[in-house]
Amino acid sequence: MSVDTRNLFRTFCFIITLLLGLAAAQTTNNPGTKQQTTRDPSQLDFGSLPQVEYVTTTDYSAGGLDGYYKLMSGFLSLVSPRDVKYEWIELAMQGRAQEIYKEPTKVVLYSLGWAICAAIGILFIVIMPIVGLCFCCCRCCGNCGGKMQQTVRDSMVCKRRVFEVFLFVVTILIAVGMVFAFLCNDALSTSVTQANTTISGTFQNVRKYFNNTKTQLDYIVDQYDTMSGAVNYDLDNIDQTLGVAVRERLRPEVGTAVNQLVDMINTVEPTKMALLEVQRALGQLQTGAQDLNSALADQRTTLNNTLNFCDPTDSVCVNLRNEVNQLSPGGDFSALTDVNTELDAVNTLLSSYDIPAIADMANSAFEGIPNRVQNYSTDVVADVKKLLADNKDVFANLSASLDGQVKVIANNTEVYQDVATQYLMKFVVPNNMYRWYAGLGLCCLVLLVVVFNLLGLIFGLCSYNSDHTPTTRTCGSTTGGNLLMSSVGFAFLFCWLLMLLVTIFFLVGSPMERFVCRPLETQEIFAETIDKPYFLKTPLSSNNNDTQSGTPAPSPKYLLGQLLLQDDQIPLKAGDILRNCSDNKGLLAVLQLDRYSFGGTDTSDLLDQINNINIDDQLDTLDVDFSTVKVLDQDTRDSMTDFRDSGVSNIDFDAYLAEVNKGLTQVDLPTYAQGLRTAADNFQEGSNVINGVRNNADRIDQLQTTKVVPLLDDVDKLKTNIQQLKRTVSDLQTSIDALLASAQNAETYLQTQGGDAVKDEAKTYANQLLGYAQQYADWIMVRFNEDFGGCKPVSDAYQSVVLLLCSYFLDAFNGFWFGLGWCLLFYVPSMIFGVKLAKHYRRMDYETGYDDYDYRYENVPMSNMDRKQPSAPPAWHSE
């Protein structure tokens, strides 16, 4: 890690730690008030962090070679089935590699598969040229199938067909291996192209990652405005957010007295109206009752005069005489005293004091507490707002300090990308063309064998005629045989070279696949090496040695924790980093920055380097003066005293109700009149009293209509108002005395305890405001744990490198030599069947069974018949 990169990493971690400090500050600030019940602040919406689309560099397609690569991988697993000996790597890293060879048996057993394969390859390289040379010499001597003679047998056709089938199958198998080798050779070129794409995409993702992380950090800092905006809004409305709470806190002691006062004041006007109604109703009743009494007296006289004419012995007449006195008045309303004195007192009270204004003043004195709180909190609100603004500047400066570092990274990644790209374009890509030609040439060497075999089979099959004898075979058939022998010759000529390359490539590619790619793909290499505690039993460098004692310094517990965070106690593991990054988790979860220490200063110490949002300390200075708040001023006290002494409570309400309940008459007049009519019907017929009784009944009904009914409404109103007055002023003196005392106590409480109430509510209010900051801190923590600086590009870069090295390059590389080795595996049967089949295709010089006796010698020249001796054989016979 370069100095610039290390400084950038430390700066970036430092800024993140400061933000984490803010989050921790909101959780641990003022532990003494932490358990207080707070209002639930409104949920703030901070939104989501901005994300960026990264260039995809982890897409991989084997191009249809998946099965072939699995076959190749299975072969390598067969060669080396044992697990990687990570303890050997650990010993090597600790400088104790010599201890590995103390157990040679394990080393031999572990490398046995590679040794066997290498030995087979070496034997092939050595033996095949020798065998080819011997085979060539043998054939030149007429042996090993070199003699142009063939015995004709019945089984020859079957043999030929078997050889053809086997050679064709072997040739196809060689061709398949050659095709796979050719495809892998082409795939190696694809890996070069992919390397350029991967490098470009990876560096581009690095730039995007840091730029987006900076953008996310700016977004987090900008969301400070959301939090501070909510705080400022509550501060601007402190009369509602804090003042109302203070008022409600005082309501049990002060508000109750004020409400009682308002209720009591509000009874003055209704009392006056009730007294007026009582006075009016009482006057009308007294006048009407006097008229009614006179009318009832006249009616009694008239009825008695009528009954004087009836038979004194008549029982009906006697009963009527006894009931005449029922026609008498009920209550004596003239005995009731008027309420003029009390009414005058109330009128005087109402004219002397502005009763509605007194009620409003008493109520506004208490309900105006929020405005008073707002007026007294102007300086405190300004201080809190300034504190918020100062903290915003701190965070803004922290964010701005990262700009230069991000630009440096962007420039460095561009430089590194240019260097890598130039290297690829200047050296790798041009030389890859020659590599591709070399691979193509090797494939063509195999192709020669395949082509000669196939051409030999084609010529042989198409030109062979079973009717021809071995010595009379056609040129096409002979050509097929010669092509097969050419295939054998090329196979002997180049097989050792191919096997040499296959062996070298095998000894390079197989260990890389076993020791490098598989552990990297499964990531077990990290768990077994650098992620293990105390992986290094010796220091990283000689600088770590204790020069005083000459003994090595203790090794770090966690290597990555020491290298990246300068703290070997942090269990930072490469496997965990890659797994978390594959889930695109943030830097906090990946690098465990909550445990990070910078220069010996941990997170709690770093809190001193920023201005904490101590809103509660600011609000604790809030002091509201309630000394001028009066629940009852002197005018209100005087008005209540006058109302108490007005005499309203001295009215004899029971006497009023007693007389009212007696009614206007002792008997119900309609009922009494109906009784008279019933009695008249019971008189003896012909009595001259009957009509007189009935006339009296009619006059009584008329009294009900003209005298009684008009007074009933006044009776009801009098009763209702008397009852209302009784309820209102029955305990007037006691109630007003208690009210005056309660109001005095409320004022005393307000002036002595009001300040404490303000401070208590201010603490609660501060917790509410800190609730916004807590939401902001919690949101930061969630973002840091989930998606801030989401390190998916790190995982993608790792996967890209593994894909490029293992899937693109090494699989193709191993597939190439595996394909060539596949071909060489079938070279020997190809040569055997090729030599055997060529014997059946080529024209023979003679054939056993036909050429052992030359029938041309049976002819005897006529000119020599006399000597009876055969002439010399012709010249062509010796050819």
Contacts of 43 (CB under 8 A, 6+ apart): 775
Q: Are 352 and 633 in contact, with CB atoms under 8 Å apart?
A: no
- CA 116 from centroid of its chain's CA atoms: 55
pLDDT above 50 for 491: yes
pLDDT band at 14 (very low <50, low <70, confident <90, very high): very low
| CA 363 – CA 361 distance, rounded (Å) | 5
pLDDT band at 398 (very low <50, low <70, confident <90, very high): low
Mean pLDDT of 82-95: 66
Contacts of 803 (CB under 8 A, 6+ apart): 58, 60, 198
pLDDT for the residue numbered 766: 74
Residue among 210, 215, 49, 218 at smallest CA distance from 784 = 49
Token pair belonging to 367: 């309900």
pLDDT above 50 for 30: no
Largest CA distance in the chain: 221
Q: 3-state secondary structure string, 106-172? A: HHHHHCHHHHHHHHHHHHHHHHHHHHHHHHHHHHHCCCCCCCCEEECCCCHHHHHHHHHHHHHHHHH
pLDDT for the residue numbered 62: 76
Token pair belonging to 76: 């390598």
Q: Are 565 and 572 in contact, with CB atoms under 8 Å apart?
A: yes
Taking CA atoms, 72 is separated from 65, 466, 722, 820, in Å, by 10, 44, 114, 12
813-836, pLDDT tens digit by residue? 999 999 999 999 999 898 888 888
pLDDT for the residue numbered 646: 66
Q: Tell me whether residue 372 is exposed, middle or buried, using C-beta atoms within 10 angstroms of its C-beta: 0 to 12, 13 to 18, 19 or more.
A: buried
Rg for the chain (alpha carbons), in Å? 61
More confident residue, 687 or 79: 79
Mean pLDDT of 153-172: 83
Residue among 534, 729, 585 at smallest CA distance from 651 = 729
pLDDT for the residue numbered 762: 74
pTM greater than the 0.85 cutoff:
no
| CA 58 – CA 420 distance, rounded (Å) | 19
763-793, pLDDT tens digit by residue? 777 777 777 877 887 787 777 777 787 888 8
Mean pLDDT of 289-304: 78
Q: What is the signed CA dihedral for 119, 122, 123, 124, rounded to 10 degrees? A: 120
pLDDT above 60 for 316: yes
pLDDT for the residue numbered 819: 92
pLDDT for the residue numbered 154: 64
pLDDT above 50 for 17: no
Contacts of 737 (CB under 8 A, 6+ apart): 644
pLDDT above 90 for 172: yes
pLDDT for the residue numbered 786: 78
User: What would the DSSP string read from start to end of 773-807?
Assistant: HHHHHHHHHHHHHHTTT--HHHHHHHHHHHIIIII
More confident residue, 754 or 94: 754
Contacts of 611 (CB under 8 A, 6+ apart): 387, 390, 391, 394
| CA 701 – CA 299 distance, rounded (Å) | 11
| CA 609 – CA 602 distance, rounded (Å) | 12
pLDDT above 70 for 443: yes
- Which segments of 512-626 does DSSP mark as H helices, in order? 518-522, 524-528, 559-565, 574-582, 587-591, 603-606, 615-619
Q: Which of 90-104, 443-457, 664-678, 805-819 has the lowest mean pLDDT?
A: 90-104
| CA 592 – CA 565 distance, rounded (Å) | 9
Residue among 106, 85, 107, 97 at smallest CA distance from 525 = 85
pLDDT for the residue numbered 166: 92
363-380, pLDDT tens digit by residue? 777 777 788 777 777 777
Instruction: Give the number of other Cβ atoms within 10 Å of residue 872's Cβ.
Output: 8
pLDDT above 90 for 179: yes
pLDDT above 70 as % of the chain? 67
pLDDT for the residue numbered 180: 92
- Phi, psi dihedral angles at 802 (to 5 degrees): -65, -45
- Bin 329: left if φ > 0, else alpha if -120 < ψ < 50, else beta: beta
pLDDT for the residue numbered 460: 82
More confident residue, 480 or 655: 480
pLDDT above 90 for 176: yes
| CA 416 – CA 403 distance, rounded (Å) | 20
Look over the chain and give the mean of its residue pLDDT values, rounded to a whole number: 73
pLDDT for the residue numbered 692: 79
Please calculate the CA angle 519-2-587 and round it to the nearest 5 degrees. Answer: 60
Taking CA atoms, 605 is separated from 22, 502, 600, 780, in Å, by 12, 63, 10, 19
Mean pLDDT of 640-669: 71
Token pair belonging to 483: 């092509």
| CA 517 – CA 523 distance, rounded (Å) | 9
- Phi, psi dihedral angles at 847 (to 5 degrees): -130, 140
